[in-house]
Structure 1
Amino acid sequence: MSEQATPPAVELGAGQSGYPPGVCAPATPLWPGFLTGQEDAPVRVLLVDDDEFMRRVIAQELLSDLRIQLEGQAGSLRDGRRLVATHEFDVLMVDLRLGDGSGFDLIQEAREHRRSAEIIVITVLEDEAHVLHALELGATGYLLKDAWLQSFAQAVLQVVNGGAAITPRLARRLLSRLSHRPMGALPPAAQPLPRETTLTARECEVLRFVARGHVTEEIGNRLGISGQTVNAHIKNIYKKLHVHSRAQAVSYAAYSGLI
């Protein structure tokens, strides 16, 4: 039996990629300078999780990305409170089940200390009640610990640039619930909006792009308006819907039939 010949090794010279002739090497991902999270100005993150193994996994991923700076870690509500009170931060990543208390309490305290900070929940709890309560408190991310198709680092960069980060499996479930909801039906916690708070056509357009995960710059480019105008529309949406974050606005508008 004849043996198959092994292809000869390719020696790389200057400018060669090592790929066969006619095949281009994958393009290096570009990170535009206008986005938040640059190597010379990284996003500052606090991580609070009492699961030591999971905390180590998440920390390792964050530390490997030069656009992110892990400011501090904690394994309890008490130590998390100390971090929130003593550190400047842009994003708080927090588990809902802490050995000495609830992550919901830390989310509320973080909001009091730094209202502009983004909150990402990291948890094993995927029931709708926990998700909606986290969004009501101002979380802009909700990640399940056992999910494969997600990146903790990308979630951080997503929320600081105006998007929302949610585990794809959980997002699929929530979308499915919305799609099977009878026309006009609202969940018990949602109340119909007064007529005077109806969003304009332009505000609805902006909110739909927000719901798809687009950041301010992208929305402006697609609608042919400036980023400042986009942000003005978003502020009006917040005021009309009585919400405080993009995730809250999308959640409420979806349940209310506005988008």
Structure 2
Amino acid sequence: MPWSSGPFDNFGHPPSVWPDFLAGQKDSPVRVLLVDDDPHIRLVIAQELMADARTLLVAQAGSVREGRRTIKQHEFDVLLVDLNLGDGDAFDLLHFLKSARPSAQAVVISVMENEDQVMRAFELGATGYVSKNSWFRNYSQAVLQVANGGASITPHLARRLLQRFDRAHSSETKRRQPDEAERLSTREKEILRMVASGYTSAEVGSRLLISGMTVNTHLRNIYRKLQVRTRAQAVRFASLRGLF
């Protein structure tokens, strides 16, 4: 009797199975647009993305100018872009992405963890960061993570960014009413802690035995109560208030 994978699909590269409720299936891989001015780095990243059946590289570009043209020409889910390009930087493309492909996610890559640059990239809408010195397969993992509603960032850089946010927004935090965090229900705090730990909405729902849509409804209520607009801002607020 043939073995059935049930709610999972089989892949030739790790992981050997992949839940069918996550983005990145064999018949519908996460589409990636890669922009980097180093041909060798582009080749390395391209090979990794194409070796993973969950991701599909749809186009490449080597400059800001080429990147803008390629963003307009191709449908994609995640932009993987080098912070420093020969004719500019990723910030120009992140600005352009908002209007040209508002549903697409962005992951920035760089040799150095430059706090100022990465902070600005996240403020412009990026949801992931990967170091070019990171271990093999981090590129496809970062793409899959942001495509499924998560954020990809190194723990070291996350701590630095949270510390920076704490310093920059301490006065704003003091102006807020002292019981903001207490307005969250027990379930909302539980979901916020799980999101802060890197779980996607689908993963949170699976663990709490509720639907991903219900999780997203809770998240919208959390945003409203904390007066924030994104997951990253909610996680930062939770961190400052010691909720996780």
| TM-score with structure 2 setting the length | 0.81
1:88 is aligned to 75
Closer, same or farther in 2 for the Cα pair 1:131/1:150, shift >3 Å? farther
Which secondary structure does the structure 1 equivalent of 2:43 belong to?
helix
2:193 is aligned to 208
Equivalent residues of 1:140, 1:165 under 8 A apart: yes
Distance 1:84 1:237 in 2: 33
2:140 is aligned to 153
Equivalent residues of 2:184, 2:222 under 8 A apart: no
Give the aligned residue type for 2:219: I
* Equivalent position to 1:243, from 229, 232, 237: 229
Shift of 1:128: 2.2
Give percent identity, aligned residues only: 50
Shift of 1:148: 2.3
Shift of 1:248: 4.0
Which secondary structure does the structure 2 equivalent of 1:219 belong to?
helix
Shift of 1:251: 3.4
What are the ranges of 5 or more consecutive residues in structure 1 without an aligned counterpart?
Answer: 1-26
1:14 is aligned to none
Distance 1:217 1:135 in 2: 23
Which secondary structure does the structure 2 equivalent of 1:166 belong to?
coil
Question: Which structure 2 residues correspond to residues 40-79 of structure 1 after superposition, within 5 A?
Answer: 40-79=27-66
1:132 is aligned to 119
* Equivalent position to 1:194, from 152, 160, 176: 176
Distance 2:158 2:143 in 1: 21
Closer, same or farther in 2 for the Cα pair 1:153/1:206, shift >3 Å? same
Aligned Cα RMSD in Å?
Answer: 2.5
* Equivalent position to 2:156, from 157, 168, 172: 172
2:142 pairs with 1:162:
no
Q: Render the CA deviation track for 1:43-101: whole Å, top value 9, x for unaligned.
A: 11100011111111001100111221111100000000001112111000001101111
What are the ranges of 5 or more consecutive residues in structure 2 without an aligned counterpart?
Answer: 1-13
Give the aligned residue type for 1:234: L
Which secondary structure does the structure 2 equivalent of 1:165 belong to?
coil
Shift of 1:144: 0.7
Shift of 1:255: 4.1
Closer, same or farther in 2 for the Cα pair 1:39/1:128, shift >3 Å? same
Give the aligned residue type for 1:227: G
Give the aligned residue type for 1:210: V
Which secondary structure does the structure 2 equivalent of 1:188 belong to?
helix
Equivalent residues of 2:115, 2:161 under 8 A apart: no
Asked which structure has the greater CA Rg, the reply is 1
* Equivalent position to 1:223, from 208, 212, 215: 208
Shift of 1:104: 1.0
Give the aligned residue type for 1:132: M
Closer, same or farther in 2 for the Cα pair 1:149/1:197, shift >3 Å? farther
Closer, same or farther in 2 for the Cα pair 1:147/1:225, shift >3 Å? same
Shift of 1:242: 2.8
Distance 2:70 2:222 in 1: 32
Shift of 1:231: 0.7
Closer, same or farther in 2 for the Cα pair 1:241/1:254, shift >3 Å? farther
Distance 1:118 1:133 in 2: 15
